[in-house]
Amino acid sequence: MPSIDIKAEVTGKVWKLEAAIGASLAAGDTVMILESMKMEIPVEAPKAGRLAAVTVAEGDSVKEGQVLARLEV
């Protein structure tokens, strides 16, 4: 099954995980929320699919372009 890497668009910290591994997501569903410069930035599923992996945990610091999760489409 093909997969898509979901990457951070900004440098920040993982504030909250919104979806669990195995969850079915629609395009635009929130996977997690990042905190950057005191702003909450949602990370959304780019397409519909199943959340196959999450590579970060709440509280982790992330860099722009870092893979945060993998979506099977």
State pLDDT tens for residues 4-27: 999 999 999 999 999 999 999 999
- Residue 1, pLDDT above cutoff 90: no
Share of the chain above pLDDT 70, in %: 100
Give the largest Cα separation in the chain, rounded.
Answer: 37
- Residue 39, pLDDT above cutoff 90: yes
* CA gap 68, 61 in Å, rounded: 11
* CA gap 38, 67 in Å, rounded: 22
Q: What are the extents of the domains in the chain?
A: 3-72
Where does 3-72 sit in CATH, by number?
2.40.50.100
Q: Which are the contacts of 70, defined by CB distance < 8 A and separation ≥ 6?
A: 3, 4, 5, 6, 51, 52, 53, 55
Q: What is the pLDDT of residue 69?
A: 98
